[in-house]
Amino acid sequence: MIEDREPIRVALLGCGTVGTEVVSLLQGRPGEFAARTGAPLQVTGVAVRRPHKHPEVPEHLLTTDAAALVNGDVDVVVELIGGIEPARSLLLQALRAGKSVVTANKALLAEYGSELYAAADAAGADIYFEASVAGAIPLLRPLRESLAGDRISRVMGIVNGTTNYILSAMDSSGASYAETLEEAGQLGYAEADPTADVDGFDAAAKAAILASLSFHTRVTATDVHREGISGIGAGDIAAAKSLDRTVKLLSICERVVDDEGNESVSARVHPAMIPRSHPLAGVGGAFNAVFVEAESAGQLMFYGQGAGGVPTSSAVLGDLVAVARNLVVAGKGPRESAHAQLPVRSMGATPTRYHISLDVADKPGVLSQVAATFNEHDVSIAAVRQQGRGPDASLVVITHTALDSALQATVDEIARLSAVNEVVSVMRVEGEQS
């Protein structure tokens, strides 16, 4: 009888947006969890900062002493506090004592993942973190396990729900940036400090995790080129609309092979214009979607709810069941796989495409001056559209693929041309043939 087996003792750290849902589901469905893992799951304590704020948790389980809870009689520690400290110290403490860990903390994993993996490995414990990237969507388990026999070449997607919620609203209803950011916070999508979302730190942490798993290489958040959405204005959204495109914050991780056959990894987060016909263009609200390209599997797409307490609790509980099953059969989950150790390519050396929208003087020679600047930097133009407006004109240029540093240098020089009144919008273009 499963009920007669020794329970698996679970400590929960943090009871906020995600933690509250995890506690409630764990307490509400004990029979199901026991049947699925092969032993009952017993919550031994819930570490919180202010116990009086948690009437939903049985009082005897609440504690403000997370370290004592981790050091006590527990088999699995579920960390839902977020941030680096005290989460890092608490998880190292747990792992070094042979206790397995489930965490949703991308910021921590993107910086200290290797340290945590090493501690888990040394003690024979597990570390699972499906909720850390793309919330409810099963994505890391497929990368770590199902695709472990394949070679991944590219991962591209929307992995931040808050910014997608904001950009979708700006695109569809012309809503303001500030008002939608506040809504995203109320709906439980935004991080405790929402600048982590809008400035791209959250997406960059997720890109580091995705690149590490996909390319068997240690990639940290500081290796990821990062641009957020705080500079995106109504002008950019309008420029995209006029070309039947939309703006999304994308995380793109690629295996790049140079002319000599040398491989490197590129990981970047930035807003990009994509065609409205692209499947990512239809991903609205806090939904996430990620494309994975692998040599044998071909193209795969993962889609679902990337943020919010209820969806994220699904991924956390899935990991908890996996860890508990391993404990029941004395098995182990996957370890760190960083054998490839590919160098990380700088953003300047990464091939990209640009959309550039200019306000120029409508007089002879302007177009040729602009075209000459592209030529000087060896950047090839894919399309040009000019529209006169009295003495001035709007000039839109879309380039072919070139090194990002060459594109950046071209834009800097164009901005200095006397015939250019204003650089209205500069954005990378993704999701179409170059």
Ligand X SMILES: N[C@@H](CC=O)C(=O)O
Cα Rg of the chain (Å, integer): 24
CB closer to Na ion out of 139 and 229: 139
What does 266 bind: ligand X, Na ion, ligand NAI, none (CB cut-off 5 to 8 Å by kind)?
none
Q: Do residues 253 and 267 touch, judged by C-beta distance below 8 A?
A: yes
Taking alpha carbons only, the member of 245, 250, 182, 253 closest to residue 215 is: 253
The footprint of ligand NAI (CB under 6 A) covers 13-19, 47-49, 66, 80-82, 86, 104-106, 131, 135, 188-189, 191-192, 307-309, 312
Residue 289 binds Na ion, judged by CB under 5 A: no
- Give me the least distance between CB of 70 and ligand NAI, in Å please: 10
- To the question of whether residue 253 is assigned a binding role by annotation, the answer is no
What does 130 bind: ligand X, Na ion, ligand NAI, none (CB cut-off 5 to 8 Å by kind)?
Na ion
The beta-carbon contacts of 46-51 under 8 Å, at least 24 apart in sequence, are 46/11, 46/12, 46/15, 46/19, 47/11, 47/12, 47/13, 47/14, 47/15, 47/81, 48/14, 48/15
| Residue 330: CB atoms within 10 Å | 7
- To the question of whether residue 174 is assigned a binding role by annotation, the answer is no
What does 139 bind: ligand NAI, ligand X, Na ion, none (CB cut-off 5 to 8 Å by kind)?
Na ion
- Pull the structure tokens for residue 105: 């903390």
What does 160 bind: Na ion, ligand X, ligand NAI, none (CB cut-off 5 to 8 Å by kind)?
ligand X
- To the question of whether residue 19 is assigned a binding role by annotation, the answer is yes
User: How many angstroms separate the CA atoms of 263 and 253, rounded?
Assistant: 13
Among 37, 100, 162, 326, interactor with ligand X by CB under 6 A: 162
Q: Do residues 338 and 217 touch, judged by C-beta distance below 8 A?
A: yes
What does 18 bind: ligand NAI, ligand X, Na ion, none (CB cut-off 5 to 8 Å by kind)?
ligand NAI
User: How many angstroms separate the CA atoms of 229 and 250, rounded?
Assistant: 10
The CA-to-CA distance between both ends of the chain, in Å, stands at 61
Site string for ligand X, 304-323 (x = CB under 6 A): --xx----------------
- Please report, as residue ranges, which positions from 134 to 163 form the binding site for Na ion (by CB under 5 A): 134, 137, 139
Residue 202 binds ligand X, judged by CB under 6 A: yes
Q: Do residues 247 and 283 touch, judged by C-beta distance below 8 A?
A: no
CB closer to ligand X out of 81 and 307: 307
Among 37, 63, 160, 305, interactor with ligand X by CB under 6 A: 160
Q: Which amino acid is at 429?
A: V
363 catalytic? Reply is no
Of the listed 53, 99, 206, 248, which one is catalytic?
206
Residue 214 binds ligand X, judged by CB under 6 A: no
- Please report, as residue ranges, which positions from 290 to 319 form the binding site for Na ion (by CB under 5 A): 315
Residue 81 binds ligand X, judged by CB under 6 A: no
User: How many angstroms separate the CA atoms of 112 and 105, rounded?
Assistant: 11
Residue that is written with structure tokens 């981790």 in the block: 70
- Give me the least distance between CB of 277 and ligand X, in Å please: 25
User: How many angstroms separate the CA atoms of 210 and 124, rounded?
Assistant: 24
Residue 161 binds ligand X, judged by CB under 6 A: yes
Catalytically active residues, by annotation? 206
Binding residues for NADP(+): 13-20
